[in-house]
Amino acid sequence: MTELYRKLEAHLNLLYPEQDGAALAQRLVETMRIVPGGPEPVPYSNHWDQADAYVISYGDSLLSEDRLPLENLHHFLSHYLADSLSGVHILPFFPYSSDDGFSVIDYYQVNQSLGDWPQIREIAAQFDLMADVVINHCSARSGWFDNYRQRKDPGQGFFFEGDPGDDLSQVVRPRTSVLLQPVQTLDGERHVWCTFSPDQVDLDFTNPEVLVEFVSIIRYYLSQGIRVFRFDAVAFVWKIPGTPCINLPQTHCLVQLLRLLVEHQRSDAIIITETNIPNRENLAYFGNGNEAHAIYNFSLPPLLLNTLVTGDCSHLRTWLMTLPPARNGTAYFNFIASHDGIGLRPAEGILSEAEIDRLITTMEGFGGRISWRDRPNGQRSAYEINISLYDALAGTLAGPDSHQQARFLCAHAIMLGMEGIPAIYIHSLLATQNDQERVANTNHNRAINRHKWDYPRLQALLADGSSHHAQVFQAMKQLLAIRRCQPAFHPNATQFTLQLGDALLAFWRQSPDRSQSIFAIHNVTDKPQSLSLTSLNLIELDRWTDLLGGQCFLDLRQTLELAPYQSLWLSNAPVMVDDTATPTV
């Protein structure tokens, strides 16, 4: 405990130099209910292995008349995915006023339309549950904000105020709305900082009372069985006018402090930072192995999408080559679709503006929408593409074609083979298409990929082998079943990128104990491609098997022909899944 107090005080003295660091550290420890003699976190420990994979879902993605939405979600997870996935990220399930949950009214309550804490605890008892800590802002309709305007506690010092006369020219914005919003309080008009929207008012972490409150929130979530915490929009959490107000040193310090508290309360708890920013800035949230346990791999979605619609993997390959291995105790959180759009900022410096414009045009041709942001120079630029991933992969630059399903499965085979922990959006598992009606009803671009399924209808479609939903779902489950058995797919297993030309994306994985090697090779084009096995330098004394097709290769001098978007996972020590319906991906 002495070492914990020393580290906490060091962080607190940096964040709050005018406060009594020792007294504040004691208060935080008591709030988190850390007891002397409790289990100490083991440095550089991996709280995951190759069997770990997550599904991302809203609490109300599956609706029916006879069950609460959270009960439907639990039923779906336990009856369809218990042998495929280890965890679930339920997107904000709290009472909210906008942004489909990310404008939180009350952090301690479950939205009654979804269920209540007993339903959350039941899911957490069976799956590793990830919950959002919406840490940068809360709803303008929250009790905290009402108290702020009335100058009452808790809340009167909780929100970040700005001065219209401040130099805000450097502030990095993800939106086009006005940053400072005028608000009437008992003390007159004030201007509150709203990074994302007028309904999402930024919290003021320069006030230590806000920190104490969020430690209390996290402690409460731990008591409900939640083990994994996604820090939403955390890059924006500390503001200093005259700076970009993103990724400031105090932000990194705050994440480090919260990690200390969380892992001393539960040693296997995991913090994941959600930072939709350029790649180098994103990597900084690993810290020195003392910050985020995992970071969202935000560059992967736009680069993989670009690869598959252009048939050229050169940018993705180069990025993979420069991606530093995550040290033990840290991991990449890999995803290629989510409730948000496909972010374009993480592709900055990798794709040229012309390539981004070409990608945007192609996605608009597949029914996609574009969300914009204001830049410090006053110009507007594309922030993200809003589209369902299944429709995003409907074709190539030339337009839609007949390879949509194969291309879609190839994308997931690539992601599932990569270093890191994979996460699959529920609408990717179900091959859900663009919901244009929902966009029209909400006037919100992101609604295009936030469809709400009638659960009985979905179950009927999944039972119908002729539907593309059933076909994709079964193929995705098979990919997951194969992956989870292979030690070479441990999130921290060695990865080397191979040079097989621009049409074949390939990388080599080796298990931490070196007992298994897997060569993951993917045809990213709509044309057959040849692969000479001699180019892989396979060890002839080993028996090499394609985990996806089941074929054993005895002649290592032969040349294979990969069909459009076909993937191979060549393993020298395969753990095969007993399933005669193994699809060729």
The residues carrying an active-site annotation are 232
Nearest to 203 by CA among 134, 263, 258, 124: 134
What is the secondary structure of 67-78 as a DSSP string? Answer: S-HHHHHHHHHH
User: What's the rounded Cα separation, in Å, for the pair 391 and 574?
Assistant: 33
Q: List binding-site positions.
A: 99, 137, 230-232, 339-340, 446
Beta bridge partners of 88: 55, 129
**Polymer length in residues for the chain:** 585
Rounded-to-integer distance, Cα 221 and Cα 215, Å: 10
Instruction: Specify binding-site residues for substrate.
Output: 99, 137, 230-232, 339-340, 446
The backbone region for 40, taken as left when phi is positive above 0, alpha when psi lies in -120 to 50, beta otherwise, is beta
Angle at which helices 2-15 and 21-32 pack, to 10 degrees?
Answer: 120
Q: Within 10 Å of residue 474's Cβ, how many Cβ atoms?
A: 15
Triad 89, 91, 97: Cα angle to 5°: 170
Q: Three-class SS of residue 316? A: helix
Query: Under a CB-based contact definition with an 8 Å cutoff, are residues 568 and 561 in contact?
Result: no
Q: Where are the alpha helices (DSSP H) in 418-493?
A: 426-429, 436-442, 455-463, 468-483
| Sign of the CA dihedral running 482, 485, 488, 491 | positive
d(CA 557, CA 341): 44
